[in-house]
Amino acid sequence: MTSIKHVGIVGAGQMGRGIAEVCARAGVHVTLCDVSEERARAGLAGIADSLLKAEKRGALTPEDRAQALTRVSVGDDLSRLSGADLVIEAAVEDERAKTALFRRLSEVVTDPAAVLASNTSSIPIARLAAAAGRPQTVIGLHFFNPVPVMPLVEVIPALHTSKATELRVRAFVGEALGKKTIVTQDRAGFVVNSLLVPYLLAAVRMVSSGTATAEDIDTGMTAGCAHPMGPLRLADLIGLDTVAAIGEALYEEYREPLYAPPPLLRRMVESGLLGRKSGQGFFSYRAA
């Protein structure tokens, strides 16, 4: 077993509540925080719904489901994270917001050995570590959506992250949570998104240029390349705002045109067409 018994999570959206769920199912006490009590409780409701679905699939017993829920507490006060062994930031993919949050976390998390981690998809961890002022205990832990299902977590040590911190979180993620880990250098996009996002953006450009419809592009990749999901449905699932934000971060880092979000993607985000979470993206998710 690892030394991590209490995990704090900041951000009760899809990723944050998914991370909270896998931690609670692993027997770890979780404190889930968001900017308001209402949003935090909505995150808890999402966890309860996901656990119930797992029980109906036979993946959990009713007793295990009930126990997991008792391990999650929620609120809007970051000071509740003061005793956490590990705090995972899963807030909006915005560098300014994340750096401000890491400054605040360095003030409220009192144990100097506690690890501060980010679930960022693309922002260099060194920038967050500098904001925290305790870079030896800051690291990236990039989970994948949906967290209870996807087995991978990218572990991203920054230049000043201690080896002890890296080994501690890898042991926790691998042994306690049962996830597979890969270690990547602290570069925007890390491994997976550096490969994935240019592919998604290329599909957006094909729609924009009229090469093919969204339906035909996705069918081409599922039926022709055996991908489980086409690129545009995958972009909708991730969130078009998140895809655009990752593209921006990659373009800022590398200045490669293939990373730049296409105008069509920018206009969709500006128009609130964010994909599955808004009900409309390249495909419609609204009930008929």
Q: Is 154 part of the annotated catalytic residue set? A: yes
Looking at 193, 194, 248, 278, which residue is catalytic? 193
Q: Is 142 part of the annotated catalytic residue set? A: yes
Q: Annotate 46-83 with b (16+ C-beta within 10 A) or e (fewer).
A: bbbebbeebbeeeebeeeebeebeebbebbeebebbbe
Looking at 142, 194, 248, 278, which residue is catalytic? 142
3-class SS at 187? coil
Sign of CA dihedral 49, 15, 157, 160: negative
Q: Is 38 part of the annotated catalytic residue set? A: no
Looking at 93, 154, 248, 278, which residue is catalytic? 154
Looking at 118, 119, 121, 122, which residue is catalytic? 121
CB 125 within 8 A of CB 138: yes
Chain-centroid distance of CA 143 in Å reads 5
CB 145 within 8 A of CB 14: yes
Q: Is 121 part of the annotated catalytic residue set? A: yes
The secondary structure of residue 280, as a DSSP letter, is: B
Spatial distance between the Cα atoms of 267 and 250, rounded to a whole number of angstroms: 19
Spatial distance between the Cα atoms of 27 and 174, rounded to a whole number of angstroms: 14
Q: Which CA distances in Å does 104 have to 51, 109, 276?
A: 31, 9, 31
Residues annotated as part of the active site: 121, 142, 154, 193
